[in-house]
Structure formats: structure tokens, C-alpha cells
């Protein structure tokens, strides 16, 4: 059984083809600059040189067609034709309250996804475009939706309800939803294995830190709070998103700068965060290099990010009570030793004793590593995330009719015998 995972963004389409029988990735890649011109595909097959081809993709339909073309190409492809593919798993960023788990896509499901696209206007429309494009290019296989928000639907009402007029929730669905759910699910299950406990016996803080950043408080295996909210704008400092700010700031700046709602929304999402502070960088490696060279704004950005990460650890520790572990994942979380160090320094009073040497030597996206001392009451792990594996296992389970709530369903990576490939 071969499963294709698709992640359609506004200007890109990521893909991965997974051989479920052998348990290996056959191919992966990305079509970049979709809809904006000068499009190209990067195609990777284990054991081969990376292949790059320029191909104009004015829409997602063309991008998905290009992926099909490359996967079946006589020279660069990995399958003779698309009949080898058993199903397609689609990342959908926002499922609202309608979806608490992955689901087989039919017309009713697709209509429901469209009904909540106003809650994620930057993400859901390209997700929907990708689904429709894939249905055209692969009309004879099942298509499965995997939702970023689903993992966090276990939050209690007092955690997801905002202190604004309650009618906003009733009429418009204004509440905390949370995102990066598949990543938080994966690393929390792996953390339970590393702790040699069952997920239901673990209290964990998971910190997904990349260009987008979100954290989750996980009590007894389920999400009880998370940093992103109605949209992915709320929460920690991110690459280009502001995260938590005084809600009066947008209206104040709109009046002072004579900006429209669309303009201020664009600034908060695309020109704030690390980029807003430094004025030129989002990649933390660039920020660290510039800070070491004496750039004061880059040094400030690092201090702000570390400080706010520390605040989330403290607040979620208060929410959870007993804390077993903190997990760092995603690009910055896995590679950014300096940012981890700033977030974890002077936390011995809550049981976190960082091993500085281990932390500084942990810069890999392949290994699961303990970065606290052996006698640290609270363990801190760096765990490379694998959202595509979650996609694949959800798809296969739905096809085999074994899929259920994640606390009942047995993922392969939640087993002590699991090994990353």
C-alpha cells in the first residue's frame, strides 16, 4: 500500500509518497512559487540526486498535476502509474468544531471544510484547492482530511473560551482552536515511550518551534491548552507573526498610520515577529550570526523569543501541576540550541536542570535526545517531528476501518519497538 501525503500552502505544495508495507518513504518534495510565477519542483528519492525542474504552476491543480508527472516519470519517477497509490492524505489547517479527528472526504465533508475557511483565510483556501486538484488528478482513490486543529479539540471549555461577548462564539465560532496538532500528537506519543510510561500517565509540554510556533499543555495524554488561538497568529513570537500582543495595538496603529484592516492583518502575520524586530531576518541561524557580529536588534530578538518561551513553560507548568517532560521539536526546536538554552536557563526551581553540553551538541533532525541531566526531575527531550507519518497512519487506519480516538488508536510510533527510518 502506497499513500501520498499532500500539504498545500498558499504558494507551495509539499508531498511525500510512503510505502506502508515496507515502512519507508519512496519520494518526497515540494512545488514552490505556486500562483506567483517562476514555479519549480524539488524532488527527492532516497539514493538518488535531488532533481529540480522549472514548471509554471498558475494554480494548485497544475502543481498537483506536476507532482503526478514527476512521480510517474520514466527517469525521475518511482511508480509506473498512479494506480499504485492507494489513497491521498491532505493536511487541512482549520476544521473548526466540526472535526475532532481525520476523516474520509466526501462532498459533505468538503462543504463543511469550506464553511469554516473564513477562520483560516490564509490556509484553508489553498488546502481546499489542493483537495479539489488531487481529486481531479486522482479521481479513483480515497482522499482523507487530516486536521491541524483536531488534536486540540479535547481542551476544556474554560481553556478555549475567550472573555469577549459570548455571542461571538455562538454566531461566529470565535474560540481557541490551536494548530500543529499532528506534530504535538507525534512528539507527545514519542515522549511517553522515552519516559517509559503510557500516554495517559504523562503530563507534557510540547514546543513546536519553526517559522510558525505553537505550544501545548498535555495532561494524561490529551491537549488541555495550546498557544495558538482562533487563528495561528496568537501565541509565541514567530518568524513573521507577532504572537501575543496588546489587542488595542492594531486599532491604535490603524488610526495613526491610516491602515486598512487588511493591511494591519498582513503586517501582523507577515512583517512582525522575528522579522519585525530584526528588520531583515526570520531564519534563526541568520539572527544568531548577526547577533554574534554585534547586531543589537538581533540580540534583542533572541532574548525576546527565549523569554517568551520560558513564560509559556511556566504557565503550562502551573496548568498541569505535575510535569514529566518538556519537548522541543520542528526546525528551530530541533536545531536551535541557543534558543533552547535561553528558554530553559534558571528553571531548576521547577525541576528542569539543563545539561549545557548535551544541549549545545544537539543539532539534528534525526535523533531523539535527552538534554537535561540524568538527575533532573523533569526531563527535556529534543524529538524530531514526523507529521507525514501521522498523516499516513491515519489514512491507512481509515481505509482499514481501525481508526478511532488517538488515545485508543495504537500508532506505530507509540510503541517502544518503533525506530525512525
Nearest of 266, 262, 260 to residue 240 by alpha carbon: 266
Query: Is 218:206 a contact under the CB 8 Å cutoff?
Result: yes
Q: What does the alpha-carbon distance between residue 216 and residue 187 come to, in Å, rounded to a whole number? A: 11
Dihedral angle at the C-alpha atoms of 166, 167, 171, 175, nearest 10 degrees?
-20
In terms of Cβ atoms closer than 10 Å to its own Cβ (0-12, 13-18, 19+), residue 2 is: buried
Q: 318 vs 225, 305, 308, 321, 364, CA distance in Å?
A: 12, 20, 15, 5, 30
Per-residue b/e over 314-335, b at no fewer than 16 CB within 10 Å?
Answer: eebbeebeebbbbbbbbbbbbb
Q: 214 vs 76, 177, 240, 257, CA distance in Å?
A: 36, 12, 14, 30
Choose, from 106, 148, 265, 355, the residue flagged as catalytic. Answer: 148
Q: What does the alpha-carbon distance between residue 11 and residue 419 come to, in Å, rounded to a whole number? A: 33
Q: Long-range CB contacts (< 8 A, 24+ apart) of 345-349?
A: 345/310, 347/310, 347/313
- To the query of whether residue 107 is one of the catalytic residues in this protein, the response is no
Query: Is 34:63 a contact under the CB 8 Å cutoff?
Result: yes
Per-residue b/e over 276-299, b at no fewer than 16 CB within 10 Å?
Answer: bbbeebbebeebbebbeeebeebb
In terms of Cβ atoms closer than 10 Å to its own Cβ (0-12, 13-18, 19+), residue 241 is: buried
Query: Is 113:127 a contact under the CB 8 Å cutoff?
Result: yes
In terms of Cβ atoms closer than 10 Å to its own Cβ (0-12, 13-18, 19+), residue 266 is: middle
Tell me 282's DSSP state: -
**Catalytic residues, which ones?**
148
Amino acid at each position: 500500500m502506497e499513500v501520498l501525503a499532500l500539504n498545500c500552502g498558499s504558494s507551495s505544495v509539499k508531498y511525500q509518497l510512503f510505502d506502508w508495507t515496507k515502512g519507508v518513504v519512496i519520494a518526497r518534495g515540494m512545488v514552490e512559487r505556486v500562483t506567483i510565477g517562476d514555479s519549480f519542483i524539488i524532488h527527492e528519492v532516497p539514493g538518488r540526486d535531488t532533481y529540480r525542474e522549472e514548471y509554471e504552476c498558475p494554480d494548485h491543480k497544475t502543481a498537483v498535476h506536476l507532482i503526478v508527472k514527476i512521480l510517474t516519470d520514466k527517469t525521475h519517477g518511482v511508480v509506473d502509474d498512479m494506480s499504485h497509490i492507494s489513497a491521498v492524505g491532505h493536511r487541512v489547517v482549520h476544521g473548526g468544531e466540526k472535526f475532532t479527528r481525520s476523516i474520509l472526504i466526501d462532498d459533505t465533508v468538503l462543504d463543511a471544510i469550506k464553511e469554516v475557511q473564513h477562520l483560516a483565510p490564509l490556509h484553508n483556501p489553498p488546502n481546499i484547492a489542493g483537495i479539489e486538484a488531487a481529486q481531479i488528478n486522482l479521481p479513483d482513490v480515497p482522499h482523507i482530511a487530516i486536521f491541524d486543529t483536531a488534536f486540540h479539540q479535547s481542551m476544556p471549555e474554560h481553556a478555549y473560551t475567550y472573555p469577549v461577548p459570548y455571542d461571538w462564539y455562538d454566531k461566529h465560532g470565535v474560540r481557541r482552536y490551536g494548530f500543529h496538532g499532528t506534530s504535538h500528537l507525534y512528539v507527545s506519543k514519542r515522549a511517553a515511550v522515552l519516559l517509559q510510561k503510557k500516554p495517559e500517565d504523562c503530563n507534557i509540554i510540547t514546543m513546536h518551534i519553526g517559522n510558525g510556533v505553537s505550544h501545548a499543555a498535555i495532561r494524561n495524554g490529551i491537549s488541555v491548552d495550546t498557544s495558538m488561538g482562533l487563528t495561528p497568529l496568537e501565541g509565541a513570537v514567530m518568524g513573521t507573526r507577532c504572537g501575543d500582543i496588546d489587542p488595542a495595538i492594531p486599532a491604535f496603529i490603524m488610526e495613526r498610520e491610516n491602515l486598512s484592516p487588511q493591511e494591519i492583518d498582513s503586517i501582523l502575520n507577515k512583517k512582525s515577529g522575528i522579522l519585525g524586530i530584526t528588520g531583515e531576518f526570520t531564519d534563526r541561524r541568520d539572527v544568531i550570526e548577526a547577533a554574534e557580529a554585534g547586531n543589537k536588534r538581533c540580540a534583542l530578538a533572541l532574548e525576546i523569543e527565549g523569554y517568551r518561551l520560558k513564560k509559556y513553560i511556566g504557565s503550562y507548568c502551573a496548568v498541569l501541576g505535575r510535569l514529566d517532560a518538556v519537548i522541543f521539536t520542528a526546525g528551530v526546536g530541533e536545531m536551535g540550541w541557543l534558543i533552547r538554552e535561553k528558554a530553559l536557563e534558571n528553571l531548576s526551581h521547577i525541576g528542569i536542570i539543563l545539561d549545557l553540553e548535551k544541549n549545545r551538541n544537539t543539532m539534528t533532525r534525526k535523533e531523539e535526545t535527552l538534554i537535561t541531566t540524568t538527575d533532573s526531575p523533569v526531563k527535556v527531550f529534543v524529538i524530531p517531528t514526523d507529521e507525514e507519518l501521522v498523516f499516513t497512519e491515519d489514512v491507512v487506519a481509515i481505509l482499514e476501518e481501525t481508526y478511532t480516538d488517538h488515545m485508543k488508536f495504537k500508532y506505530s510510533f507509540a510503541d517502544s519497538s518503533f525506530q525512525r527510518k
